[in-house]
């Protein structure tokens, strides 16, 4: 059975869309999230919006998770969750298009939604599902590279309650090895615990 994340009426599928730029590991993020979901016993699917990732160009990738066989192959138009790996896209791409009213938003930034000019977007949405995270800084600290994808998928796992930290770590080990794997595990662990603590605090004061 699924975890904390709630699913829209009539569907048992969780759909994620990830926005970023080439070189930030956007496609890898979707793949690793799907591997983590598969480790939990779910069906999972991940794919990019196109085949190549030109450095710095906008990139979108998608992930679907279900307890049933996934037959859909089209892009995710009405996501249950969004990860925004680069906030400069906020002024270039309609990253929030189609997001469900109770959807999760995870932004790679140390700034608040208000400081980003997104206060209106947050109105009427569950505050415990809206989160900012300095994922690039966490990645730099633990792996020495500004690749925010692993902290962000760990953050969404914690935010949604859909995937356990152990499954995220399993996906990391499958993708990386040696010191790179160790650094990413440390980054994922820090992020997961940070988001879990923050979610509890927000829920308590809601």
Q: What is the pLDDT of residues 17-73, one digit of tens each?
A: 999 999 999 999 999 999 999 999 999 999 998 655 577 789 999 999 999 999 988
Domains in the chain: how many in total? 1
3-state secondary structure (DSSP) of residue 5: coil
pLDDT (0 to 100) of residue 204:
57
Q: Which domain holds residue 194?
A: 14-205
d(CA 129, CA 186): 24
8 within a domain of the structure (yes/no): no
6 within a domain of the structure (yes/no): no
The DSSP secondary-structure symbol of 192 reads H
d(CA 113, CA 169): 29
2 within a domain of the structure (yes/no): no
129 within a domain of the structure (yes/no): yes
- pLDDT of residue 171 exceeding 90, the answer is yes
CA distances for 154 relative to 33, 48, 120, 123, 174, angstroms = 8, 19, 27, 26, 15
Please tell me the pTM assigned to this model: 0.91
CATH number at residue 118: 3.40.920.10
pLDDT (0 to 100) of residue 198:
83
Cβ proximity of 147 and 139 under 8 Å: yes
Mind listing the pLDDT tens digit for each residue in 125-153? 999 999 999 999 999 999 999 999 999 99
Axis-axis angle for helices 178-205, 135-143 (nearest 10): 150
């Amino acid at each position: 059975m699924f975890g904390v994340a709630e699913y829209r009426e009539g569907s048992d599928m969780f759909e994620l869309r990830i926005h970023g730029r080439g070189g930030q590991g956007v496609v890898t993020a979707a793949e690793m999230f799907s591997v983590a979901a598969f480790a939990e016993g779910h069906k999972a699917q991940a794919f990019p919006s196109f085949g190549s990732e030109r450095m710095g160009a906008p990139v979108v990738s998608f992930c679907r998770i279900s307890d049933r066989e996934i037959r859909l192959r089209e892009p995710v138009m009405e996501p249950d969750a969004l990860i925004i790996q680069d906030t400069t896209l906020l002024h270039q791409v309609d990253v929030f298009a189609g997001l469900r009213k109770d959807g999760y938003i995870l932004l790679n930034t140390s700034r608040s939604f208000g400081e980003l000019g997104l206060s209106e977007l947050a109105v009427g949405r569950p505050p415990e599902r809206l989160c900012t995270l300095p994922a690039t800084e966490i990645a730099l600290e633990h792996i020495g590279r500004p690749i925010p994808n692993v902290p962000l998928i760990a953050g969404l796992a914690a935010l949604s309650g859909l995937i356990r930290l152990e499954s995220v770590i399993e996906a990391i080990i499958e993708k990386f090895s040696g010191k790179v794997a160790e650094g990413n595990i440390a980054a994922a662990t820090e992020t997961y615990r940070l988001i879990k603590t923050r979610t509890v605090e927000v829920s308590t004061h809601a």
